[in-house]
Amino acid sequence: MVQSSAADVDAYLAEVPEERKDVLVRLRQLCRAELKGFDEVMAYGMPAYERDGVAEIAFASQKQYISFYLMRGDVRDAFEERLAGQDMGKGCLRFRKPDSVDFELVRGLLRATVAAPGEVC
């Protein structure tokens, strides 16, 4: 699944491959727990979390990996050491296998995102 046409996150999760479902549900739970004041929406065919109408976090089940999108450069910069060695694009942290998702790293990124608004790339 690259881009979903699901109307909401529940529908999105219902259509992901079974071997990724538990991890994606856990990512959603973590986002919902940590991103207080954010709205959960579907944007660009994936679950996203917006503050004041601007998406700052998203995740997706891609063909070859699970993506965690961090659209805040300031947070990426603050976590530069912890992100070193990770499969990371400009704003996309890629986990090639479901069991490779580093939930503690994700929790830290979410908490840093919530701590203060910042510019989205």
Torsion of CA 9, 16, 92, 110, to 10 degrees: 50
pLDDT for position 119: 87
- Name the CATH architecture for the domain at 9-111: Alpha-Beta Complex (3.90)
pLDDT for position 2: 59
Listed by start position, the domains of the chain span: 9-111
pLDDT for position 41: 97
The pTM of this model reads 0.93
The token duo for 95 is 């986990």
Residue 61 to residue 13: CA distance in whole angstroms: 9
89-96 own/partner pairs: CB under 8 Å, 24+ apart: 90/121, 91/121, 92/67, 92/68, 93/67, 93/68, 93/69, 94/62, 94/65, 94/66, 94/67, 94/68, 95/65, 95/66, 95/67, 95/68, 96/64, 96/65
How confident is the model over 43-61, as pLDDT tens digits?
Answer: 999 999 999 999 999 999 9
Residue 95: closest CA among 26, 39, 6, 34: 26
Residues 6+ apart with CB under 8 A from 82: 105, 108
Residue 31 to residue 15: CA distance in whole angstroms: 19
One digit per residue, the tens of pLDDT, for the chain of length 121 reads 457 888 999 999 999 999 999 999 999 999 999 999 999 999 999 999 999 999 999 999 999 999 999 999 999 999 999 999 899 988 899 999 999 999 999 999 999 999 988 889 8
